[in-house]
């Protein structure tokens, strides 16, 4: 398979280190508010990645983390803690807030019919292990203490700027005055935050005899080290994570333990809504409930995402969502055909679709291959199962075979037509339509479809 690797800025041939265990890590959500539809695009792309690898015969060990601690509103270690902000807004404890939004996230994740990760890891379950990573970094001389926390001296990690192609000199010149003059370099970041005298923090742990909490970039490094072991095969996240979050993950894990973090890095681009950035002030922060109110399901949305590419900036519109909904309905009707006529062997189409997906996850290309054969062929069970496995759109689950009574009625109508009793044929067609089934007459006979 070919994948665009952010590490090398090239499309490269992907081979896992061990086919029995392809190690995949995807940065997860910060659970301090409801996730909007933009937040979910990446999980659809990564689900396609997992499904493609599985289809190729690999065993995929995929970890998803849940950030339920210590993520500040700014990547730069200042600003409010996102969890505390959510708790204040809701009049709840940070733990209750985390629980509620995590459950809501997982509900949507599962409604999108994603392959269940091998493990979902909460950051708060790895704080002891974070401390071990901080100790390892300290031992190697990467850290310095400040009143705000233990900071990583990025000048001691010579390749710090490489991953994101950062221009540190330029950064320095453009830097605003940070929280404290104690910071040695503008790119230095907190691996552990102290709770200062007179301050409090809802989530806190004792470390080195003081109370504090982990910096937000450390959990992914820790969880990868504990659960998968570096180097992993593929690390995924949003493009916004390249310059700070992922750069800092690498500096911590590779600095502490000396091994490469990941062989491949995949980054998804952002979506805009009706041409605008997603923002509260524009009133376009759509959740799945908002889509449901307009008659769209999670699967309609997933269909829309799969029509595009993870590296492309995409524009979402309800017009396009309506088109995606129709396309999905066409696939369901196509899948339902497998009960009624002689099926065509579509294994060549399957091969062509896989070739598209193995070309840097070109799902739009794979769907185009499917469209080429759809109107002229009847799929067999095997092909339809493949479609469900590769896209996870649930096209078979939602199209149960029709009842024997309905089938008998369809046969009765065919006979009526043959006997030129068109009044009876039309009456039967109306009765069948009331059951939600449309009939299509063609030279080859009559085909039924879900309306």
User: Judged by CB under 6 A, which stretch of 33-41, 141-149, 160-168, 410-418 contacts ligand AMP?
Assistant: 33-41
Tokens 């950030």, residue located = 67
User: Judged by CB under 5 A, which stretch of 24-32, 280-288, 354-362, 392-400 contacts Zn ion?
Assistant: 24-32
Q: Is 231 in the site for ligand AMP (CB under 6 A)?
A: no
Measure the CA–CA gap between 314 and 244, rounded to whole angstroms: 23
Question: Pick from ligand AMP, Zn ion, none: which does 144 bind, CB < 5 to 8 A by kind?
Answer: none
User: Judged by CB under 6 A, which stretch of 35-43, 172-180, 253-261, 405-413 contacts ligand AMP?
Assistant: 35-43
Q: Is 365 in the site for ligand AMP (CB under 6 A)?
A: no
* Nearest alpha-carbon partner for 339 in 445, 451, 444, 448: 448
Q: Is 278 in the site for ligand AMP (CB under 6 A)?
A: yes
Q: Is 30 in the site for ligand AMP (CB under 6 A)?
A: yes
- Classify residue 360 as left (phi > 0), alpha (psi -120 to 50) or beta: left
For Zn ion, which is the closer residue by CB, 50 or 306?
50
**Cβ of 32: how many Cβ atoms within 10 Å?**
23
Q: Which strands, in side-by-side order, build the sheet including 149-152? A: 143-145, 149-152, 189-194, 210-214, 205-207
Could you tell me whether strands 22-26 and 60-66 are parallel, antiparallel, or unpaired per DSSP bridges? parallel
Question: Pick from ligand AMP, Zn ion, none: which does 410 bind, CB < 5 to 8 A by kind?
Answer: none
Question: Pick from ligand AMP, Zn ion, none: which does 138 bind, CB < 5 to 8 A by kind?
Answer: none
Contacting residue, 271, 328, 354, 367, with ligand AMP by CB under 6 A: 271
User: Judged by CB under 5 A, which stretch of 19-27, 83-91, 142-150, 312-320 contacts Zn ion?
Assistant: 19-27
Q: Please enumerate, as own/partner, the contacts of 433-439 that have beta carbons within 8 Å and a separation of 24 or more.
A: 435/402, 435/406, 437/402, 437/406, 439/410, 439/413
Could you tell me whether strands 60-66 and 119-122 are parallel, antiparallel, or unpaired per DSSP bridges? parallel
Could you tell me whether strands 262-268 and 232-238 are parallel, antiparallel, or unpaired per DSSP bridges? parallel
- How many residues form the binding site for ligand AMP (CB under 6 A)? 11
Torsion 123-125-126-128 (CA) sign? positive
SS3 244: helix
Q: How far is CA 10 from CA 48, 230, 265, 396, in A?
A: 20, 22, 11, 37
Q: Are 278 and 272 in contact (CB under 8 A)?
A: yes
- Classify residue 89 as left (phi > 0), alpha (psi -120 to 50) or beta: alpha
Residue nearest to ligand AMP according to CB distances in the complex: 238
* Nearest alpha-carbon partner for 224 in 115, 130, 156: 130
| Least Cβ distance, residue 120 to ligand AMP (angstroms) | 16
Residue 136's Cβ-count burial label (10 Å; 0-12, 13-18, 19+) is middle
| Least Cβ distance, residue 74 to Zn ion (angstroms) | 16
Q: Is 70 in the site for ligand AMP (CB under 6 A)?
A: no
| Least Cβ distance, residue 82 to ligand AMP (angstroms) | 7
| Least Cβ distance, residue 79 to ligand AMP (angstroms) | 12
Contacting residue, 5, 7, 26, 38, with ligand AMP by CB under 6 A: 38
The alpha helices in 392-421, defined as continuous H runs, are 404-418
Cβ density class 358-371: b for 16+ within 10 Å, e for less: bebbbbebbbebbe
Positions 237 through 266 that interact with ligand AMP (CB under 6 A): 238, 240-241
For Zn ion, which is the closer residue by CB, 27 or 72?
27
| Least Cβ distance, residue 363 to ligand AMP (angstroms) | 16
Q: Which residues contact 269 (CB under 8 A, 6 or more apart)?
A: 239, 310, 311, 312, 313, 314
| Least Cβ distance, residue 199 to ligand AMP (angstroms) | 24
User: Judged by CB under 6 A, which stretch of 1-9, 171-179, 236-244, 296-304 contacts ligand AMP?
Assistant: 236-244
Question: Pick from Zn ion, ligand AMP, none: which does 171 bind, CB < 5 to 8 A by kind?
Answer: none
For ligand AMP, which is the closer residue by CB, 101 or 194?
101
Question: Pick from ligand AMP, Zn ion, none: which does 220 bind, CB < 5 to 8 A by kind?
Answer: Zn ion
Positions 195 through 234 that interact with Zn ion (CB under 5 A): 220
Question: Pick from Zn ion, ligand AMP, none: which does 271 bind, CB < 5 to 8 A by kind?
Answer: ligand AMP
Contacting residue, 5, 26, 39, 333, with ligand AMP by CB under 6 A: 39
* Residue 429 phi, psi (nearest 5): -60, -40
Question: Pick from ligand AMP, Zn ion, none: which does 270 bind, CB < 5 to 8 A by kind?
Answer: ligand AMP
For Zn ion, which is the closer residue by CB, 260 or 279?
260
The contact set with ligand AMP (CB under 6 A) reads 30, 38-39, 41-42, 238, 240-241, 270-271, 278
The contact set with Zn ion (CB under 5 A) reads 27, 220
């Amino acid at each position: 398979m070919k994948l665009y690797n952010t590490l090398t800025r090239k499309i490269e041939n992907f081979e896992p280190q061990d086919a029995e265990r392809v190690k995949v890590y995807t940065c997860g959500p910060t659970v301090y508010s409801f996730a909007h539809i933009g937040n979910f695009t990446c999980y659809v792309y990564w689900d396609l990645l997992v499904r493609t690898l599985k289809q190729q015969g690999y065993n995929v060990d995929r970890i998803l983390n849940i950030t339920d601690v210590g993520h500040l509103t700014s990547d730069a270690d200042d600003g409010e803690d996102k969890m505390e902000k959510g708790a204040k807004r809701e009049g709840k404890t940070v733990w209750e807030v985390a629980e509620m939004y995590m459950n809501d996230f997982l509900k949507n994740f599962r409604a999108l019919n994603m392959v269940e990760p091998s493990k979902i890891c909460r950051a708060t379950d790895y704080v002891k292990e974070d401390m071990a990573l901080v100790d390892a970094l300290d031992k190697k001389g990467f850290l310095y203490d400040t009143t705000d926390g233990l900071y990583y001296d990025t000048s001691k990690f010579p390749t710090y700027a490489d991953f994101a192609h950062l221009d540190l000199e330029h950064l320095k010149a453009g830097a605003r005055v940070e929280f404290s003059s104690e910071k040695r370099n503008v790119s230095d970041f907190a691996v552990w935050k102290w709770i200062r005298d007179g301050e409090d923090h809802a989530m806190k742990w004792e470390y080195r005899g003081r109370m504090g909490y982990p910096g937000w970039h450390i959990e992914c490094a820790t969880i990868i080290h504990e659960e998968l072991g570096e180097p992993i095969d593929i690390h995924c996240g949003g493009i916004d994570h390249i310059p700070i979050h992922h750069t800092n993950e690498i500096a911590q894990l590779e600095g502490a333990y000396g091994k490469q973090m990941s062989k491949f890095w995949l980054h998804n681009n952002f979506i805009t809504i009706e041409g605008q950035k997603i923002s509260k002030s524009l009133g376009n922060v759509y959740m799945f409930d908002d889509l449901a109110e307009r008659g769209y399901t999670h699967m309609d949305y997933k269909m829309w995402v799969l029509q595009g590419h993870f590296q492309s900036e995409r524009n979402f519109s309800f017009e396009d969502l309506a088109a995606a909904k129709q396309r999905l309905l066409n696939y369901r009707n196509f899948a339902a055909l497998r009960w009624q006529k002689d099926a065509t062997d579509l294994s060549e189409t399957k091969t062509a679709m896989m070739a598209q997906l193995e070309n840097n996850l070109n799902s739009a290309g794979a769907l185009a291959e499917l469209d080429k054969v759809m109107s002229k062929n009847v799929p067999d069970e095997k092909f339809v199962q493949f479609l469900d496995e590769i896209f996870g759109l649930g096209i078979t689950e939602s199209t149960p075979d029709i009842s024997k009574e309905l089938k008998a009625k369809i046969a009765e109508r065919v006979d009526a037509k043959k006997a030129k009793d068109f009044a009876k044929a039309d009456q039967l067609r109306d009765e069948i339509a009331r059951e939600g089934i449309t009939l299509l007459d063609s030279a080859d006979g009559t085909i039924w479809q879900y309306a």
